[in-house]
Amino acid sequence: MNALLTAIRHRVNSRLGFFGLVVILFWLKTLLAYTLDFSLGVSGIYQYFILIINPLAITLIFFGIALYIKKPWWSYLTLLVLHAANTALLYFNVIYYREFTDFMTINTITGFSKVSNGISGSSLALTKGHDVFYWLDIVVLLVLLLARLIKVDKKPLPRRLPWALTSLGVVLFAFNLTLGEIDRPQLLTRTFDRNYIVKYLGIDAYTINDAFKTARNDQVRASASTSDLASVQQYIKQHYAAADPQMFGLAKGRNVIVIHLESFEQFLIDDKIDGKEVTPFLNSLYHDKQTYAFANFFHQVGQGKTSDAENLLETSTYGLPEGSLFSQLGSDNTFQAAPAILQQTQGYSSAVFHGDVASFWNRNNVYKNMGYQNFFDKSYFDAAGDRSIGYGLKDKLLFKDSVKYLEQMQQPFYAKFITVTNHFPFEMDSEDTDFPKADTADSSVNNYFQSAHYLDQSVEEFFAYLKASGLYDKSIIVLYGDHYGISNTRNLDLAPLLGKSADDWTAYDDAQMQRVPFMIHIPGVKTGSVQQQYAGEVDVLPTIEHLLGIKTKRYLQFGTDVFSSQHDQVVAFRDGDWVSPQYTKAAGNVYDQKTGTELTKLTKTQQTQVDDNQNRVTTALRLSDKLNNGNLLRFYTPKGFKPVQPQNYNYTDGFTKLAQLRETLGQKSTSLYSQNHDHSTADLYQTDAPEAK
């Protein structure tokens, strides 16, 4: 034992040994944070291995700066300062995470007021007993150095050693990044949750990546000015489509309930597996005379997937060409989104119901900037054990458990439900489904029909509650598929189920598979039908606004009302391709939209039409990117609109705040709970979910 202690003391008394000790200590405290303070959703040996090694690469590179300093005392002091600074970064993230279940961005670090105002109460209340271990080693090392129990090694290091350690750190980081990309492709470019960056690459790498993106965004924004709005305003003015007088105000004063059908594609409507309808309830809704359903409605998302779909619907602007607008720009961008517009024009309250964590896609920040008054995320529900699958609380439970919050909201309200169960790889617990799987070579394709059937049942149960509670007749219900469920790489396995040969499958077919459902169900209206006009997610907001009797001409929105005779039927995809009633442009080729035949030789008239469509799409995407990247809406406030103040929104204790508002309003309260003589309607909800029994 004495020999071992002597060997350790000898090693620590060398500069390289002391460096190794500091690296190990910081590595251990990072693992402490991963284990006790952060909830990173790690599963499986592979992810745990990545988690264990991810602090080492950047730590070696960062702490290695001290080894380039030749003067021994300065080298040791620099190493301790770097160690303390990195510990501070780690610990401040721990404190921030305990309050917000999220990690600090560069903007929150540089703007401390945002952090101090956001963290409720005293930071002392957020501390825990084990926090002493984040700082104890620094104090002990400093004392040992000052007491000369650890001696400063005055021998010079080999000249190439610092470079060797830096190179080792770079190689280790490349190895770490490769492992992360294997498990989570497009890890850095398609950032949907800060948890993922930390889980795969560590706190330091996350902070560096965020700093890079912030600097890039700040540079673009710093050069932006009011004059940059001119081209955007001109395009939108020319592109505006006036409302159909017969449809304008058709749903005025009604609640708006938006149901986000995760990964739900249009081909599921009226589809069957083994003679059984996959989505019998949605099929009936699709053909209901109270529903305006759209046969040629396309998703328009990019790498931001679900978050892009939300942005398109809420703001009528496009996502970014790379990454997620929510994640990259959403924390600080100025929005003129649906919840704020409806609140300021017609007094709507607003809420989102979602069974995943609030930080996913940066929603906890973006929703505040959009003006959402309430956000009921996973923390508001019992999502333990078999109540969750994949990306959060199962859909049947989400709808059922949301009722106690929904009934407290003041009417009219704008409420969005984000489902998650129908998500790749579409796996289901056996007790949740008895629907048959498809029979293809791809398991995720086979599973897709089961999870879609479960989603259909979830929506049916929710509709039954709306009718039983009386909300149904006071609302319009908007349902839409956010993006594709089966990716292009799996379409060949799906093709036979659609009556198509895999050998004949082309880019045209991939483009047609971007169809997703869009239905506007208005109880009491008898003029609904299956509409044939082409439209995309960017068109939803102006359509809903006009149905509610809200004039849209003053807002900067890239979509057009689908019911307008002036509606633009050229639907842009985020990659620059497009579809229209006449043509499809996909993978560099032009196809006849009706026949799917590739048009290798275009007539002069055809070429003019194609070029005009392409120019229209390219211009819209470019100007939308200009608007969002430059945060140009900060320079433009429509008449009668007040800029959203995100600091006014706090998503903690949502139920209490709703109940307190209801009690304050007294007889003026318009909540369903009040209208039901202060009795809950939760017992009206019927579900066959086994987890609810």
Active site residues: 306
* Separation CA 543–CA 438 (nearest Å): 36
d(CA 180, CA 530): 45
Distance in angstroms (rounded) separating the CA atoms of residues 78 and 168: 20
- Identity at 363, one-letter amino acid code: R
Are residues 273 and 501 in contact, defined by beta-carbon separation less than 8 angstroms?
no
Give 185's DSSP letter. T
Residue with tokens 């190895």: 175
Q: Smallest Cα–Cα separation from 281: which of 273, 290, 270?
A: 270
3-state class of 374 per DSSP? strand
Longest Cα–Cα distance of the chain, Å, equals 92
For 127-157, letters b (16+ CB in 10 Å) and e give eeeebeebeebbeebeeebeeeebeebeeeb
- 3-class SS letters over 106-145: HHHHHCHHHHHHHCCCCHHHHCCHHHHHHHHHHHHHHHHH
Q: Using CA atoms, how far apart are residues 361 and 483, in angstroms rounded to an integer?
A: 15
Pairing status of strand 571-572 against strand 276-277:
unpaired
How far apart (Å, rounded) are the C-alpha atoms in residues 661 and 653? 13
List the 349-354 sheet strands across, edge first.
374-376, 349-354, 413-418, 255-261, 475-481, 518-521, 291-294, 530-531
Strand bridging mode 255-261 / 413-418? parallel
* Buried-exposed string 348-377: b where 16+ CB fall within 10 A, e elsewhere: bbbbbbbbbbbbbbbbbbbbbbbbbbbbbb
DSSP symbols for 206-246: HHHHHHHHHHHHHHHHHT--GGGHHHHHHHHHHH--PPPTT
β-pair partners for 297: 535
**What SS3 state is found at 229?**
helix
How many angstroms separate the CA atoms of 516 and 509, rounded? 14
Query: Which DSSP string corresponds to 473-492?
Result: GGEEEEEEE-S-SS-GGGHH
Yes or no: say if 266 and 517 are a contact pair by the CB < 8 Å rule: yes
Enclosing H/E stretch for 349: strand 349-354
Strand 291-294, strand 388-389: pairing: unpaired
Q: CA 628, 633, 638, 640: dihedral to nearest 10 degrees?
A: 110
Strand partners, 578: 572, 585
User: Which residues have CB under 8 Å from 531's CB, separation 6+?
Assistant: 292, 293, 294, 295, 562
Contact 338, 544 (CB under 8 A): yes
Contact 339/371 with Cβ under 8 angstroms?
A: yes
Side-chain half-sphere exposure of 137, counting CA atoms within 13 A: 22
Closest CA to 633 of 367, 337, 309, 237: 337
The structure tokens 């057009």 sit at 560
Helix H segments across 374-488? Answer: 395-406, 443-469
